[in-house]
Amino acid sequence: MTSSPVSPLPLSSADSSADVVTRLRAAGCVFAEDEARLLTAAASDPAELAVLVGRRAAGEPLEHVLGWAEFCGHHYEVDPGVFVPRRRTEFLMWQAAARARELTGAAPGGRTVVVVDLCCGSGALGAALAAVLDRAELHAADIDPAAVRCARRNVAAAGGRVYQGDLFEALPAALRGRVDILLANVPYVPTGDIGLLPAEARLHEARLALDGGADGLDVLRRVAAGAVSWLAPGGHVLSEVSGRQAALAAGIVGEHGLTAQPIASAEWNSAVVVGTRGRGDCG
């Protein structure tokens, strides 16, 4: 959608839902009817609806206006400024879930899977993974205080804990060598491409959540370098990348003592690199 100046619109009349649709459509919202329904349901009265519609028409992401995003069939809270979990990242979640289930093998009821969601943003990714596993010990971390505040609500609801800090420095030392699934949906947009992102991302999500450095893989390099000492034998690290970055990203992961596997999905329009620690490795 496009940004446009907002003028107050009376929304208390009987034709208010048509007004909302018209207003959203005029602002460039492609799914104006759907958005109108969601915004109307979120507002407790016409005055609040007018505020919500005004924010959306001014270009704020729908999820920030609603205060939640749908991810893997759940609603997770998303505060203004915090990265909105993307539908394509559900591919990463399901790849992680399949590997977690392989690790638990035939144990009755499944053994507890230790999950770390590094660069967790809202925490939706780790919370969604914990929700599909029989037993998970969930830890999440982010460097951005706003993300950490938001993730604490989503992750606490999933029985997990959230820490603030720079990548692995945020984690309790007791997790070293114990992590079965390391989710690392790090920023991966090349710095030079940030200006090409939709305004919703560029203007309303933290630069820190998007910018992955010159080739987009700077944060992934740091995660790959640290992962082997935090993963349990047989554990996996999973990172989303763009299709163009997948081969280079797999090479980076493979340089750090992990077996690297790039996986792409046309259905999800998503690419993921999985790094696996060998079962006999010393870390």
Task: List residues binding ligand SAM (CB under 6 A).
Answer: 83, 85, 89, 119-122, 124-125, 142-144, 147, 166-167, 185-187, 206, 208-209, 219
CB of 118 to ligand SAM, least distance (A): 7
CB of 122 to ligand SAM, least distance (A): 6
Ramachandran bin of 247, using left for φ above 0, alpha for ψ from -120 to 50, beta for the remaining angles: alpha
Q: Whose Cβ is closer to ligand SAM: residue 32's or residue 116's?
A: 116
Q: Whose Cβ is closer to ligand SAM: residue 54's or residue 121's?
A: 121
Q: Whose Cβ is closer to ligand SAM: residue 54's or residue 160's?
A: 160
CB of 4 to ligand SAM, least distance (A): 27
- Of the candidates 238, 233, 283, 221, the one whose C-alpha atom is nearest the C-alpha of residue 257 is 283
180-200 burial by CB neighbour count: b if 16+ within 10 A, else e? bbbbbbbbbbbeeebeeeeeb
CB atoms within 10 A of CB 41: 9
Tokens of 249: 């990203």
CB of 93 to ligand SAM, least distance (A): 9
Q: Which residue number is nearest to ligand SAM in terms of Cβ? A: 121
User: Which three-class secondary structure state does DSSP give residue 184?
Assistant: strand
CB of 17 to ligand SAM, least distance (A): 31
CB of 218 to ligand SAM, least distance (A): 9
Beta strands in 78-228 (DSSP E): 113-118, 136-142, 161-164, 179-184
Q: Whose Cβ is closer to ligand SAM: residue 49's or residue 69's?
A: 69
DSSP 80: T
Q: Whose Cβ is closer to ligand SAM: residue 205's or residue 281's?
A: 205
Tokens of 251: 């090479």
CB of 203 to ligand SAM, least distance (A): 16
CA angle, 252 then 99 then 173, to 5°: 65
**Segment holding 76, helix H or strand E:** strand 74-77
Q: Whose Cβ is closer to ligand SAM: residue 95's or residue 185's?
A: 185
Q: Whose Cβ is closer to ligand SAM: residue 167's or residue 253's?
A: 167
Give the span between the Cα atoms of 158 and 155, in whole angstroms. Answer: 5
- Of the candidates 120, 116, 122, the one whose C-alpha atom is nearest the C-alpha of residue 136 is 116
User: What are the beta bridge partners of residue 141?
Assistant: 118, 163
